[in-house]
């Protein structure tokens, strides 16, 4: 079973209009709200492929209820920690040409008591899971090194870990040596402290993460493709050319694909081919973390 961890989940509200005009009144053509957040998107994709998933994290208020009920309907084992604060709402403004503007709320603060309750549920889940996904931002009240602590708990329990975070949470999580890290270019540049213009520079910076104890690094480069760095080898897969509808959740789709490849012990070339096809298929749909299977298998072929 795979455990996905949502420390700062969100309700994703998608608003559609022809073109966004900043500083002016904008009337939306349509709007809808669904369960979201990075780890929730990973969970949704895994369940499309009938992978057993347990989900943990913090939920509160009406938004939290929406997320938990959505995952339960998908057959997910929910072990969330209830908090007093309200689960945040993230707004994605989707324009007719495919451009997306994301407005992300900070989320509720978590108390020390709530944090302790989560750790008890988290360690209990590890007894039954072989792979854990730590994905997304940290809520207020949680220290930047918290992902690192969770990585250590996973390894003590014999559970492999995929980390997909940003900023200081990513940097300090890397120090604990997760099995897989999946940064995008911007996140890798943050770690490097400089811009990374070429693929060689990206591979070199990924190698620095390996030297710090990470098992492998998979870098998502959007339309430029995917880079996999492990040991002394680096692998690349170009992105598929598709009619893009919505790119939100594509990185989470890559993480879900890496989970499946990890369970099946796929070689890097096969794993990258799967991830590239799945991510591109996700980009052709309006809903975050939704894979049109025919498109996916056509691209994979």
Instruction: Please give the positions annotated as active site.
Output: 252
Nearest 5°: phi and psi at 259?
A: -60, -50
Evaluate whether 107 touches 120 at the Cβ level (below 8 Å): no
What counts of helices (H) and strands (E) characterise the chain? Answer: 10, 13
What is 27-88 written as a DSSP string? --SEEEEEEESHHHHHHHHHHHTT--EEEEEEE-HHHHHHHHHHHHHTT-EEEEEE-SSPPE
Enumerate residues 6+ apart whose C-beta is below 8 A from 106.
88, 139, 140
The residue assigned the tokens 């770690």 is: 191
The three-class DSSP label of residue 192 is helix
């Amino acid at each position: 079973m795979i455990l996905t961890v949502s420390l700062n989940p969100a309700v994703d509200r998608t608003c559609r209009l022809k073109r966004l005009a900043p500083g002016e009144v904008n009337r939306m053509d349509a709007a809808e709200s669904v369960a979201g957040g990075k780890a929730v998107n990973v969970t949704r994709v895994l369940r499309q492929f009938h992978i057993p998933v347990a989900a943990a994290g913090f939920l509160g208020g009406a938004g939290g209820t929406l997320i938990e009920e959505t995952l339960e309907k998908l057959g997910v084992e929910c072990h969330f920690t209830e908090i007093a604060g309200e689960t945040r709402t993230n707004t994605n403004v989707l324009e007719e040409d495919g451009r997306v503007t994301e407005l992300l709320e900070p989320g509720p603060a978590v108390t020390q008591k709530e944090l302790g309750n989560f750790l008890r549920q988290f360690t209990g889940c590890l007894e039954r899971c072989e792979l854990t996904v730590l994905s997304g931002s940290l809520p207020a009240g949680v220290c930047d090194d918290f992902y690192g602590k969770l990585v250590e708990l996973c390894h003590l329990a014999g559970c492999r870990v995929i980390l997909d975070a940003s900023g200081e949470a990513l940097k300090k999580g890397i120090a604990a040596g997760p099995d897989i890290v999946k940064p995008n270019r911007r996140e890798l540049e943050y770690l490097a402290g400089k811009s990374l213009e070429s693929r060689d520079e990206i591979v070199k910076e990924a190698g620095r993460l390996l030297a710090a104890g990470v098992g492998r690094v998979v870098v998502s480069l959007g339309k430029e493709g995917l880079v996999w760095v492990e040991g002394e080898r680096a692998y690349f897969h170009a992105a598929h050319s598709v009619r893009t509808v919505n790119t939100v959740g594509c990185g989470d789709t890559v993480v879900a694909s890496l989970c499946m490849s990890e369970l099946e012990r796929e070689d890097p070339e096969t794993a990258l081919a799967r991830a590239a096809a799945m991510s591109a298929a996700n980009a052709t749909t309006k809903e975050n973390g939704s894979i049109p299977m025919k498109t996916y298998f056509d691209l994979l072929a």
